[in-house]
C-alpha cells in the first residue's frame, strides 16, 4: 500500500470554493477506481488557500492508472490553473 500527499497553494485571487467544487468532482470519480483505498480533500485550518489531497492506493500500478484516468486528465489541468504552487510525494509507512 502506498500513500500520496498532494499539497497545493491557491493563487491569491482564487476563491477556495471554486477549487473545492472542482476537486469534489475528482474525489467522487476517483473513489470508484480499482485500487483506490482512500481519497479525500483537506483544507488547512489556518490558511484556507492550502489544500491537500490525502490518498491511499493498493500499489503503484493503481496510482498510475489513476493518473491516466479520464477524470484526472480532464480535471487536474483545471485545478492546476487555480494553483500558485504544488508538491506531491508518494510514501510508504515505516513500521
Catalog residues that contact its own copies under the rule CB under 8 A: 2-3, 5, 7, 20, 23-24, 40-46, 50-52, 54, 60, 89-94
HSE-up of 8 (CA within 13 Å, CB side)?
A: 25
Dihedral through CA 86, CA 10, CA 24, CA 47, nearest 10? 100
Taking the least distance from each CB to its own copies, the nearer of 59 and 73 is: 59
Cβ at position 93, least distance to its own copies in Å: 5
CB of 45 to its own copies, least distance (A): 5
Residue 40 or 73 with smaller CB distance to its own copies: 40
d(CA 81, CA 58): 29
Amino acid at each position: 500500500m502506498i500513500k500520496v500527499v498532494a499539497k497545493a497553494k491557491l493563487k491569491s485571487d482564487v476563491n477556495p470554493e471554486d477549487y473545492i467544487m472542482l476537486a469534489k468532482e475528482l474525489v467522487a470519480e476517483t473513489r470508484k477506481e480499482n485500487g483506490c483505498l482512500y481519497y479525500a480533500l483537506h483544507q488547512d485550518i489556518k490558511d484556507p488557500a492550502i489544500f491537500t489531497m490525502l490518498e491511499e492506493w493498493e500499489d503503484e500500478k493503481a496510482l498510475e492508472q489513476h493518473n491516466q484516468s479520464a477524470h484526472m486528465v480532464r480535471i487536474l489541468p483545471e485545478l492546476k490553473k487555480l494553483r500558485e504552487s504544488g508538491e506531491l510525494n508518494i510514501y510508504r509507512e515505516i513500521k
